Amino acid sequence: MLYFTSRYRQLVFLSLVYIGLTAFPVFADRNHDREQQDHRIPALIISTDVAIGLNDTHGGESLNPAVRSETNAFSLDRDVTPQDLDDGLALAMALNLDAAGLVQVLGVVPIAGNASLPPEMMVARKIMRELKGREDIPLAPGAAGPASQTYHPIPKWFDGTDVTVAGEMGSFVASCRNEGVRLMESLLLQHRGPVTLLALGPFTDIACLIETAPPYVLRRVKEVIALASQLEGESLTINGLVVNDFNVRRDPTAVALLLASERGRQIPIRLMVFSLSGQTSQKDTLIPFDSATFKGPQPPTPESTHSLQWLLAAAEPRNEFWRAIFGTVEGPFDQYALVASLENQDNSKLFDCRDAWAYVQQCPQPVWSPNTELDANGQPVPPAYNAPGNSCMDHGSVGSTPTNGSLVGVPAQLLVSLDQDTGPVVRGVTGVDGNIPDFDASARQVMACIDFQGDEARQEFLEILQTYTW
């Protein structure tokens, strides 16, 4: 046993007092600095169906029994194709912006969408951990499938009543919390400033966060910025060929849940509309991801060269796939949402963003719906999704406008009205296939970015992409 002399105890005591007095202001300063930084630099949590370099089915597609062609022929879920590159480019760009001190990437949550979730996790790991060496940024898997099945009859109890999807007692809140959603919640709690949620894939995890996190956590959310939506009456075409709004198509129920959420009413939503984001995929205004357009930082480093070369090689099969359908390679999409989150850019000079009202328009039910009228031979009358005069833009246009057939996979659309719209948040026949619940809510007020502010702004957007995409 040791006994300290009283003199020694006095010295220790005085030293501790001295250390305490000097250290405390240091800690206080550090806390203050961190708090300042947390407020100064935009902080992002990225929800992404990152799939660059993958050959896979669309994530969750196997939850559908089959996809119907325009002639109602079955197409089974066995089409393995090169999946989208744009999330991969957005993720690499976000990490480069983080390294440059222009954003803070707090965490990344992959979600089934372009591809299935397990391989998407591998892509995120490849980009974050290997290409960018960011072991420090948390990564966790989000939703493996949509909020509810689409193109299925609604699940029912034995007594014939519906299994409710929405609300505190509904099946979504009961089932949606996963490791990714819990990560988002803890990051919001830890961070000392406002946080932007980037929705680069289906809305499932963000809708779950908003429906389940405590209100004091949700107050940290500055904004949701999503790559989705089309203007009312706007046809989605790329080089004259009709396409679909993929993030909405993958989980229309989650879109409706987010727009209708009472808990999320105070959270601003900014939509990057196809009238803007589709521009740089059209042949005359294309921004192709190729080595002639994207050269990486100058002078290059071994790391930047490795990263850019990998992204270019991984994008190649997808670009060829796209070219075979649309005649050109695909332009950027998800990067619009990322650029919109930058505060060193004056977004009002870059994008034309306006007050708008968003709602979900359900499309005609699929041919196997019990509500679909059949003729004496059991054939649907009329063909369901492409019935003439139906409520979904581009559906029903087969024969006059070429499509790539993907509209058969579209149960609903996310529409944006630039005029005040007090109609319901979900329109069309609710409660049948697609399982989109009916809500006692009207169209959600949002900010809709619908165009560039001009040619100079378009050029500036290109330069931002060229500087940070590698």
Maximum Cα–Cα distance for the chain, whole Å?
Answer: 105
Q: Which two tokens stand for residue 107?
A: 């965490």
Q: Report in angstroms how near the CB of residue 113 gets to Ca ion at its nearest.
A: 6
Of 323-342, binders to Ca ion (CB under 5 A) are: 334
> Is residue 95 within 8 Å of residue 132, measured between CB atoms?
yes
Give the contact letters, 194-233, x = binds to Ca ion (CB under 5 A), - = no. ------xx--------------------------------
Which residues are within 8 A (CB) of 390 and not within 5 positions of it... i.e. 6 or more apart?
A: 363, 364, 396
Instruction: Report the chain's terminal Cα–Cα distance, integer Å.
Output: 63
Size of the site for Ca ion (CB under 5 A): 5
The stretch among 49-57, 142-150, 293-301, 374-382 that binds Ca ion (CB under 5 A) is 49-57
Smaller CB separation from Ca ion, 87 or 245: 87
Nearest CB to Ca ion, comparing residues 49 and 460: 49
Q: Which of 49, 205, 223, 460 is the binder for Ca ion (CB under 5 A)? A: 49
> Is residue 445 within 8 Å of 272, Cβ to Cβ?
no
- Bridge partners of 361? 413, 427
Interface with Ca ion (CB under 5 A), residue from 56, 61, 87, 245: 87
* DSSP one-letter string for 223-266: EEEEE--EETT---EETTEE---HHHHH-HHHHHHHHH-STTTT
Is residue 88 a contact point for Ca ion (CB under 5 A)?
A: no
Q: How far is the CB of 101 from Ca ion (least distance, A)?
A: 25
310 or 336: whose CB is closer to Ca ion?
Answer: 336
CB neighbour burial string for 361-386, b if at least 16 within 10 angstroms, e if fewer = bbbbbbbbbeebeeeeeeebebbbbb
The CA–CA distances, whole Å, from 27 to 16, 32, 187, 466 equal 16, 8, 22, 40
Alpha-carbon torsion angle 133, 138, 141, 146, nearest 10: -110
Map the footprint of Ca ion across residues 334-393, applying CB under 5 A.
334
Query: Cβ of residue 170: shortest distance to Ca ion, in angstroms?
Result: 26
- Comparing CB distances to Ca ion, the nearer of 123 and 166 is 123
Using the rule CB under 5 A, give the single segment among 81-89, 125-133, 153-161, 402-410 that binds Ca ion: 81-89
Which C-beta is closer to Ca ion: that of 51 or that of 154?
51
Taking the CA atoms of 458, 462, 464 and 465 in sequence, report the sign of the dihedral they define.
positive
Question: What's the closest the beta carbon of residue 167 comes to Ca ion, in angstroms?
Answer: 28
User: How far apart are the C-alpha atoms of 65 and 122, rounded to whole Å?
Assistant: 27
Shortest Å distance, C-beta 29 to Ca ion: 41
Min separation Cβ 139 and Ca ion, Å: 16
Closest approach of Ca ion to the CB of residue 284, in Å: 24
What's the min distance (Å) between Cβ of 90 and Ca ion? 8
Cis ω on the peptide bond leading into residue 299 (within 30° of 0)? yes
Nearest-angstrom CA–CA distance, 276 and 351: 8
**Choice between 108 and 443, CB closer to Ca ion:** 108
Q: What share of the chain is helix, strand, coil (3-state, %, to 5)?
A: 35, 15, 45
- Contact stretch for Ca ion (CB under 5 A) within 1-9, 17-25, 41-49, 170-178: 41-49
Q: Is the CB of 141 or the CB of 396 nearer to Ca ion?
A: 141
Residue 72 beta carbon to Ca ion: minimum distance, rounded to whole angstroms: 29
- The residues binding Ca ion (CB under 5 A) are 49, 87, 200-201, 334
